[in-house]
Structure 1
């Protein structure tokens, strides 16, 4: 009788451990390869928020390969990057009304086109519609002093930068 009780207790403990292991595996999802990230700060008197998917280089050739030249890019991973300003601002000398926009770029080996599109939530650039652009401007990429394994946006008093691999894209805001 004592042996049967011990066997039932052991069986119950094994079953409980198995169930807790399965439950734990279901609540610990695999981390995203390109997790969402965001940055919020002041650029001039406006509060800017940029929300984006942050991919990694992972030894890949980025510019002109993973991110093709002369094509609209979502400027991040997964869903399109969003850009929010709480005040009207001037971007590269052009007026942009307060609001939330999707942010795209068209990279080239020379100057880049930056795009603020009125459709804020988009699945990447798959349904991008040029007719919905609120603002387009041209910027000059800069060779980064350091390599950035993950894509990161930084906001400063003069505007913001997109930084990935060996490239920094400065965007001026007033």
Structure 2
């Protein structure tokens, strides 16, 4: 019995040590942001992955200009509208969509696409676009190491902010009337 208990202890220590190996953890972790209406009901949620800059030139090199980008890493970024909204002035029905972008030096094209649960932009199909809209690209005050998405409350909605490296964009989202 003593031998069995000794073997069991060695096994548990070995198993426990190997189970705590985090060395191969995702290099671009998933994140989510949500914005709410003034009555605290949800307006929109975004699920995306956050790649790091790591001393690389981002826009124009890692993320080429004038090409569809998954807007983050791993799976295509997903956006859910909990009610009908005006996205940069265009009405979109409540639902879940993929959010792609086409970065350019001075502007970005923002794409809302019907196909969801896709890896990257490899199977992107522009015939499933429900919206393409353009917003100006702006300079950040300081370099942003991790690609980041957040919401900034505004009148009757929120502004969607996306930024990485030295660039950010802003897209107004409001409740549809």
TM-score for the superposition, normalised by structure 1:
0.86
Q: Does the 8 Å contact 2:106/2:138 carry over to 1? A: no
CA distance in structure 2 between the aligned counterparts of 1:100 and 1:23, rounded to whole angstroms: 40
Q: Once superposed, what is the RMSD of the aligned Cα atoms?
A: 2.2
Please tell me whether Structure 1 or Structure 2 has the larger radius of gyration of its CA atoms: 1
- Specify the SS of the correspondent of 2:117: coil
The answer on 1:39 being equivalent to 2:33 is yes
Kindly indicate which of the two structures has a greater share of residues assigned to helix. 1
Cα offsets for 1:36-60 (capped at 9, x unmatched): 1001112677521000010000111
Match of 1:5 in 2: none
The answer on 1:129 being equivalent to 2:139 is no
Q: How does 1:83-102 map to 2 (within 5 A)?
A: 83-102=79-98
How many equivalent residue pairs? 167
> What's the offset of the Cα at 1:13?
4.3
Match of 2:48 in 1: 52
> What's the offset of the Cα at 1:111?
1.3
- Specify the SS of the correspondent of 1:168: strand
Segments of structure 2 that go 5 or more residues without pairing to the other structure are none
Match of 2:172 in 1: 172
Segments of structure 1 that go 5 or more residues without pairing to the other structure are 1-7
Q: Which runs of 4+ in 1 moved over 4 A?
A: 11-15, 43-46
